[in-house]
Amino acid sequence: MTTASESELLTHVGPGTPMGSMMREYWIPAMLSSELKADAPPTRLKLLGEKLIAFRDSTGRVGVLDHRCPHRCASMFFGRNEDSGIRCTYHGWKFDVEGHCLDMPNVPSHMAFPEKVMAKAYKVQERYGIVWAYMGSRAEAPPLPCFEAAMLADDSERNLFCVQRECNWLQGLEGDIDTSHFSFLHMGAMEPADVDQGTYGRYALINRAPEYHVADTDWGTMYAAYRPAETNSTYWRVAHFMFPFWTIPPDGHFADHVIARAWVPMDDTHTMFFHISWKKNTPGLRNKKDGTRIPGASIGNKYLPNDSSWLGRWRLAANATNDYLIDRDSQKTESYSGIDGIHLQDQALTESMGEIVDHTFEHLAISDLMITRTRRRILQAARAAAEGITPPGVDNPEVFQGARGGDFISPNSVGWLQAYSDELRISKNPTGVLRVAAE
């Protein structure tokens, strides 16, 4: 059981909180590179409870700044993005992407002091189609993340999208490390006879209550949910939590399942979900044996138009205001949830818990072993970080390269960690960085 004090530590991410301070030691996915155009108006951006603006200057550089002008605190969202800087329209003070004051046009030149004024600006790098921000206290930022999916160099081979979720980051993330809900929320109306006999996901329909192995890792935590397969073999679904808010879900064949998902806190009650995957991944269970789509298992997202508000980006058209377009007739006949879309089903249920779930109401079971282990690991790391101990993977992000998720079958004679390492050795490696965890 997670206590009220532990729940508060886990869920609150604003400046000065233990969790927020730990997360700031990592590079944070702030937005997609495609969201910013040179010399275009600035974009409002919320990250870890801070109100920021992001803009791309005329030379192509990206700035992520506190939205308040350091002169009189007017919002630079209303500023002019021009000639390699953002100019506050209140008095014309101008700042570059690093926060340096370039101009004080309302102050007589002999009284100006631009060298003494800095806008609060965060370090920024663009890589893999993402704008990354470092919000920590180090003068020199740590290395960028270098786990497998983040290093897909070819844009044409990368799936990359965002979805905003109206709930705390932790309950969004925990949906990705909760494997048993797959057999209910997503596939509860399907029977084993409905799908092709050679489909691995069929075993999750034959046995909807798997057993588990869970372990701490250098990068976070991992689980292996297991069920009997054919004679003398075991069906495994392996997934990971990676610090500070990344997951590698198991929904696909391990051999080519290059994927990672970030649950980035905008504030305590809103999360921006980033999905990165290899387009050549073999998808998980989606079709019946006749080739038709399983009801409710559609892919793709339909969005509301973005607007310029703090929470106006990447919102789904199906949402709490319209009950996620649930179809009760379909729920009776062909879809366990009545909600169309794997991601949307997850979104509906995690948002239904409330903006921040009250963990003291929970009654956790063995099926929640990965969740309890991950909470404990995060709590330990946040408390250690508050004592000055560097969080996992900050200075050695190469440890994340031992993580791959997905499903596979192995002989019963092979232990779970050995089976995992064996699968790593024979898996496809499009980035060249995947390594066997035991090495």
Does residue 427 have a pLDDT over 70?
Answer: yes
Express each pLDDT in 28-53 by its tens digit: 999 999 999 999 999 999 999 999 99
Q: For residue range 226-255, what is the model confidence (pLDDT) as tens digits?
A: 999 988 999 999 999 999 999 999 999 999
Predicted pLDDT of residue 322 = 98
Question: What percent of the chain shows pLDDT beyond 90?
Answer: 94
Check if the beta carbon of residue 264 is closer than 8 Å to that of residue 436: no
β-bridge pairing 121-127 and 270-278: unpaired
322 DSSP 8-state letter: G
pLDDT greater than 80 at residue 1: no
- Max distance between CA atoms of the chain, in angstroms, equals 86
pLDDT at 438 > cutoff 60: no
Q: What is the token pair recorded at 254?
A: 């391990």
Does 153 have pLDDT greater than 90? no
- Cα angle 356-130-158, degrees, rounded to a multiple of 5: 105
Could you give all domains of the chain from N- to C-terminal order, each with its CATH number?
27-141 (2.102.10.10), 150-426 (3.90.380)
Stated length of the chain: 439
For residues 216-225, give the mean pLDDT. 98
Q: Which two tokens stand for residue 84?
A: 């390699």
Q: What is the reported pTM? A: 0.96
Q: Mean pLDDT, the chain, as a whole number?
A: 96
Report the sign of the C-alpha dihedral through residues 135, 137, 141, 144, in that order.
negative
C-alpha triplet 152, 437, 145: angle, nearest 5°: 35
Query: Which one, of 276, 388, 395, lies nearest residue 27 by Cα?
Result: 395
Location of structure tokens 């990447």: 314
User: For residue 353, what pLDDT is reported?
Assistant: 97
Query: Mean per-residue pLDDT for 301-306?
Result: 96
pLDDT average, residue stretch 144-166: 92
C-alpha to C-alpha distance for 263 and 274, rounded to whole angstroms: 7
- Interatomic CA distance for residues 337 and 27, integer angstroms: 36
Contact present, 4 and 357 (Cβ < 8 Å): no
The pLDDT, as a whole number, for residue 437 is 57
* pLDDT for the residue 439: 44
